[in-house]
Structure 1
Amino acid sequence: MPERHLIVIDGLDGSGKATQTALLAEYFQSKGIPVRKVTFPDYNSRSSELVKMYLNGEISNNPEDINAYGAAGFYASDRYISYLTDWGKDYQRGTLILCDRYVSSNAIHQMVKLQEKDWDSFLDWLQDYEYDKLGLPRPDQILYLDMHPDVSQKLLSARYQGDNSKKDIHESNLNYLLNCRKAALYAAEKLGWTVIPCSDSQQPYTIETISEQIKRIIGK
């Protein structure tokens, strides 16, 4: 039976997940390692319709109006359908799966809707629901790109050429993102994620600097 491996790169909006996932995929390919890059939400699939409704503000313009468990279910369903219909076959064959966001994103973005005293029970529920009940594969490593929201907001504004109307309900809510960072660092410590510093208090580190950090960690 082939060895199966899954690595996750996660972080807040604007932290550089897509860029670093692509660079890491190129790194593995250069080593002759078969790799498949997967991105969540899977916007090219109908499986993400509930996620789109949520992020577009069709249910509510305030993400905190949507129950943490309900919203987590939107994202989990997208991953579950994607696994069954798409990348699961590659994973079972032994192709290294490299995820831009995964189950960890539910911890980052949904846990903040609960009181801190309920965070541990949410994390326990989330692990049980997505990994044990749905049967999604557990990652070998989760790398959290820690870009301060003040910095990532500048990068997002540049991405959208200053048009803030293009931001989804997560991206446009700075206070929500600050709380998400707090939740992410809490989950990282509790669940053993690797935190990758991506900025100082004012400026992002270069893409190359962050990529080298990731490759050093993967090399270990």
Structure 2
Amino acid sequence: MAFLLAIEGADGAGKATATAAVVAHLAAQGLSACALSFPRYTDTVGGWALGEYLAERLPRAVSPQAAATLYALDRFESRAHLVDMAARHDVVVFDRYIASNMAYQAAQVPDGEAEALMTWIARLETGQFALPVPDLSVYLDTPLAVARTLIAQKRRRSYTDDTYDAYEADLGLQARVRANYAAMADAAMLGEWMTVETVAHAALRPPEMIAAEIADAVIGRLEG
């Protein structure tokens, strides 16, 4: 079974860039690594439904619990693909994984209900849907103002032509998501975490530097 690395963070944190750079860095160190990005908008029923939801094209409101189930369904439908990738590589790098579902849905309920919802989602994904827990989750800590700029620079998405989807447009939600990620990392929910700062001295750190920091942590754990 491969080492499972989850790259996590709020929208605009640089997850896709970091994921690709980590895979390249690991390959340069002689490890077989691959990337798997969630949601899989064009590959699963859950992913398609999530695209419609985020583009605000669904005919009715979606509760946080229903949205959480769609995100979990996307991964459940992808489980065989995930297991196959893990059997053929040394490291599988996730661009978003289970913690993303927990952080975002818990950001949409009252504070007193957030922890219970995160626990429910974790049990749904790792219990009922039997998805593997990551060996290491990395929280990319990116200031909200910086993330907002990076979102606007994203390439066109398959599910919307808008600059911001429903989650990205809500600044309050994004702030709560960042707080949830920090809390999960502090509490070691879903296992071990490391936090990586993506900004230093008021400037974005080079992706290669961020990737090297993450890849070195993975290699250290594999060797240990």
**Range class of TM-score, shorter chain:** 0.7 to 0.9
* Number of corresponding residues: 212
Q: Secondary structure at the match of 2:211?
A: helix
Superposed structure 1 runs of 4+ greater than 6 Å apart: none
Q: Structure 1 vs Structure 2: percent identity of aligned residues?
A: 24
Match of 2:215 in 1: 215
| Residue correspondence of structure 1 range 87-166 to structure 2 within 5 A | 87-93=82-88, 95-159=90-154, 165-166=162-163
2:12 corresponds to 1:14: yes
Q: CA deviation at 1:7?
A: 0.7
2:196 corresponds to 1:196: yes
Q: CA deviation at 1:201?
A: 8.7
Q: CA deviation at 1:15?
A: 1.1
Checking the alignment, whether the CA contact within 8 Å between 2:9 and 2:139 is kept in structure 1 is yes
Query: Could you tell me which amino acid in structure 2 is paired with residue 58 of structure 1?
Result: R
TM-score of the aligned structures, taking structure 2 as reference length: 0.85
| Distance across 1 between alignment mates of 2:68 and 2:183 | 18
Structure 1 unmatched runs, 5+: none
Q: CA deviation at 1:70?
A: 0.8
2:51 corresponds to 1:49: no
Structure 2 unmatched runs, 5+: none
| Distance across 1 between alignment mates of 2:89 and 2:150 | 36
| Distance across 2 between alignment mates of 1:11 and 1:121 | 20
Query: Could you tell me which amino acid in structure 1 is paired with residue 76 of structure 2?
Result: Y
| Distance across 2 between alignment mates of 1:208 and 1:89 | 28
| Distance across 2 between alignment mates of 1:73 and 1:197 | 30
Checking the alignment, whether the CA contact within 8 Å between 1:23 and 1:211 is kept in structure 2 is yes
Q: Secondary structure at the match of 1:167?
A: coil
Q: CA deviation at 1:28?
A: 1.8
Q: Which of residues 169, 172, 194 in structure 2 aligns to 1:172?
A: 169
Match of 1:183 in 2: 180
* TM-aligned CA distance change 1:201 to 1:150, over 3 Å: farther
Deviations 1:15-60 (A, max 9, x none): 1111111111112222322222100011231331111111101238
Q: CA deviation at 1:170?
A: 1.1
TM-score of the aligned structures, taking structure 1 as reference length: 0.86
Q: CA deviation at 1:156?
A: 1.9
Q: Secondary structure at the match of 2:138?
A: strand
Query: Could you tell me which amino acid in structure 2 is paired with residue 35 of structure 1?
Result: A
Checking the alignment, whether the CA contact within 8 Å between 2:107 and 2:180 is kept in structure 1 is yes
Q: Secondary structure at the match of 2:169?
A: coil
Moved more, 87-96 or 115-124: 87-96
Deviations 1:59-91 (A, max 9, x none): 389xxx63221111111111110112x232232
Q: CA deviation at 1:129?
A: 0.8
* TM-aligned CA distance change 1:215 to 1:148, over 3 Å: same
Instruction: Name the structure with the higher helix share.
Output: 1
Please report the RMSD computed on the Cα atoms of aligned residues, expressed in angstroms: 2.3
| Distance across 1 between alignment mates of 2:18 and 2:107 | 25
* TM-aligned CA distance change 1:201 to 1:181, over 3 Å: farther
